[in-house]
Amino acid sequence: MASIERGTVTHAAKSEDSSRATALDGTALDNEAYVSAEFFDSEVKKIFRATWMLAGFAHEVSDAGDSLPVTIGGIPMILVRGRDGEVRAFHNVCVHRGMPLIDKPCRKRAFITCPYHLWTYDLEGRVRNRPHFFRGGEHDISENGRDDVRLAAIRCDSWHDLVFVNLDGKAEPLADFLRPLTERLQHYDLDALNWSRDVEYDIASNWKLIAENHIDALHIFGVHPALNKFADQATRPCTEAFGHLFFGCYSFPDPEKGRGLGMPYFPGLSAKARQEAPWFYLFPNVMGQVYPDQLLVIQLIPESHERTRERVHFYFVGDAAHDDAFEEGRRQAHETYTSVLAEDIPVCEALQRGRVSEGFTGGVLSPFWDKATFELAERVRERLG
């Protein structure tokens, strides 16, 4: 893998006849970062497996015995809801011969059984039954489970409905990882939310281009005419970087259907917050958008250097998530945001195609709008060294 040099934002280029900065003295990532399989492999090892990654959602394993197969950082794993209510993560392989254990979601099962030699594990990962283990007809059965033979666990923790994993086990506590975001969203009562629905996309684009597009506050007027009408480009702030958190918040004059009209608001919002819309990106795979009446959580699942799955989950306040009385409001919110995605996805896929051109060498960045894009590139450079 070719080396990547760090940039700087301490200076900006200036035109000869003006004191106004014309570009950041630094660039985003060059093409290799988007089109190289080798570069992606380094990201898998040094980024995805070395920090907290959003792996799934607690509502997907809502009852004891529910299990969900997922792949994060190239590693197949299982999310399991135990009898104690805790969600755990295990490598999705039997410790006997490495056979994958499940290939689809399972509901309310008391045990996890390997389809190869029928080894049985309890919901805490302990082996309970090894048929014919000693010889034909001689089984190894442990009524309470064997602590010395168990599925390989993966560090796992949850925040509201979001389930995170840390594959190398060395990341800071999840609460510390999330603190930059939770501090900025503290006036939103996230406990009041309920999951409503989700939608999934298969995008022919590198994961970083999708993240860059999310934190690019400049493209609204060119790509999203309806969103620009809702909150004009001229009034929008840029995205700011706070380490691994990228955050911004714009104001809008009036709510509209799909964005703050006709649905219950977060309880206790100030008059100012009732006309604000924060957006965020938690490096590397969580994006989000908040309106006074809803939260959208977008999970990025990088699958290769040129393909990413994107899962969008919709949350509403209280009964609005499922009550028939709010069905129209939910439909409008869903259509509003999926129309934005329908405009964004072709852009991200076009950007991916553009990264094969030698005419692009990292970009000429706006000193106002592109600071976050530069900082995202720095996070990648820092992790890869």
Q: What's the pLDDT score for residue 18? A: 41
Please give the sequence-ordered ranges of beta strands (E in DSSP) within 193-333, or none if there are none: 193-203, 240-242, 245-251, 256-257, 260-261, 276-282, 286-291, 294-304, 307-317
Residues 136 and 192 in one domain: no
Q: Structurally, how many domains does the chain consist of?
A: 2
- Rounded alpha-carbon distances, angstroms, from residue 339 to 202, 203, 226, 286, 342: 16, 15, 9, 20, 5
Residue 341 domain-assigned? yes
Residue 72 domain-assigned? yes
Taking 60 as the threshold, does the pLDDT of residue 302 lie above it?
Answer: yes
Residues 149 and 204 in one domain: no
DSSP string for 182-225? HHHTTTS-GGGEEEEEEEEEEESS-HHHHHHHHH-TTTHHHH-H
What does the alpha-carbon distance between residue 231 and residue 273 come to, in Å, rounded to a whole number? 15
pLDDT single digits (tens) 164-180: 999 999 999 999 999 99
pLDDT single digits (tens) 352-377: 999 999 999 988 899 999 999 999 99
Taking 90 as the threshold, does the pLDDT of residue 7 lie above it?
Answer: no
Q: What's the pLDDT score for residue 16? A: 42
Residues 79 and 213 in one domain: no
Taking 60 as the threshold, does the pLDDT of residue 13 lie above it?
Answer: no
Residues 151 and 191 in one domain: no
Residues 129 and 199 in one domain: no
Domain that holds residue 324: 185-360
Mean residue pLDDT across the chain: 93
Q: What's the pLDDT score for residue 23? A: 56
Residues 200 and 339 in one domain: yes
Residue 174 domain-assigned? no
- Rounded alpha-carbon distances, angstroms, from residue 283 to 57, 275, 290: 18, 27, 17
Residue 16 domain-assigned? no
Residue 81 domain-assigned? yes
Last residue of a domain, one of 135, 155, 175: 155
Residues 259 and 322 in one domain: yes
Residue 146 domain-assigned? yes
Closest CA to 193 of 322, 64, 288, 67: 322
What does the alpha-carbon distance between residue 196 and residue 330 come to, in Å, rounded to a whole number? 8
Measured N-to-C along each axis, helices 207-215 and 371-384 cross at an angle, to the nearest 10 degrees, of: 150
Residue 335 domain-assigned? yes
Residues 249 and 330 in one domain: yes
pLDDT single digits (tens) 224-246: 999 999 999 999 999 999 999 99
